[in-house]
Structure 1
Amino acid sequence: MFSRRTGRLLTGTAAVGAVLLGVAAAAQPAAAASYPWGISLCTGSGGTGTRTEVDLNDTSCHDLSEPALSAVDVSDSDLYAYFNADCRTGLPGKSGDAYFIVGSLHSAEFPLPVVSYRVVHNN
């Protein structure tokens, strides 16, 4: 059932969503412009700190020399990020199924320091 009150609420919600989407879309090109094609892991949050450029052709597991707190993926591949060495799933120092995926054309702030990663190609 549709009422005027519900209609106004939905319209207001849609307007707020459109504004937020517009702000997010406007912010992304500026951030993406400073990153080359590929995947970058960063030691600081927000893409700051020391950058590690990932070899997109190498899909083996890699341990990082310094933990990463953020990443930018400007490629057609995904980055699987792990909180344990040797691409072992789980929280730091524990077994489990936790890991983090940074999808193609996305950036990420990791909830915990990432210490290993692998590239996964999208088909």
Structure 2
Amino acid sequence: MKTNHRRVSRVAVATAAAALCLAGAGQAQAATLGSITFYTGADQTGTAVRLDLEKVDVCQELTTPVRSFFAASNQSVDVFFNKGCTTGAPGRTGDVYYRTGTLGQGNLPYDAVSYRIRATG
């Protein structure tokens, strides 16, 4: 009898722990996590510009062009080389833009002048 009681107790504890983990995971996905930083120079050099990840799906202009980034977040950023989050190479129309991803770093192919934070990674 004691053995069955212990098994039931262990199962109950494991079930409760799993439920708490799942509840916490849902909340974590809803929250903004981490940071994304642009840099005015290549290879994460120059002046750092940390992005406000709460401004989702809003086109934002940069006061100074940026050349590189570091991303460690649950969101990604679409980076544009024309004002107004317009796609295309600088001064041209087209479909060129850059997406940072959620975890990474790198140099941008052109000077970036505007960006939009995506609702999901």
Q: TM-score, normalised by structure 1?
A: 0.68
Q: Distance in 1 between matches of 2:71 and 2:119?
A: 12
Count of residue correspondences: 87
1:53 matched to 2:50? The reply is yes
Q: Distance in 2 between matches of 1:122 and 1:108?
A: 20
1:122 offset after TM fit, Å?
1.7
Say what the alpha-carbon RMSD is for the aligned residues.
1.0
Aligned residue number for residue 108 of structure 1: 106
Unaligned ranges ≥5, structure 1: 1-36
Match of 2:79 among 75, 78, 81: 81
Deviations 1:62-98 (CA, angstroms, capped at 9, x unpaired): 1111111000111010011000001000011111100
Tell me the percent identity: 34
* One-letter amino acid of the counterpart of residue 74, structure 1: A
Q: Distance in 1 between matches of 2:84 and 2:38?
A: 16
Q: Distance in 1 between matches of 2:36 and 2:43?
A: 14
Q: Distance in 1 between matches of 2:73 and 2:94?
A: 28
Q: Distance in 1 between matches of 2:120 and 2:59?
A: 17
1:46 offset after TM fit, Å?
0.8
1:121 offset after TM fit, Å?
2.5
Contact 1:69 1:109 in 2 (8 A): yes
Moved over 4 A (4+): none
Q: TM-score, normalised by structure 2?
A: 0.69
Contact 1:82 1:88 in 2 (8 A): yes
Q: Distance in 1 between matches of 2:112 and 2:85?
A: 10
Aligned residue number for residue 122 of structure 1: 120
Q: Distance in 2 between matches of 1:61 and 1:51?
A: 19
Which has more radius of gyration?
A: 2
Q: Distance in 1 between matches of 2:110 and 2:91?
A: 12
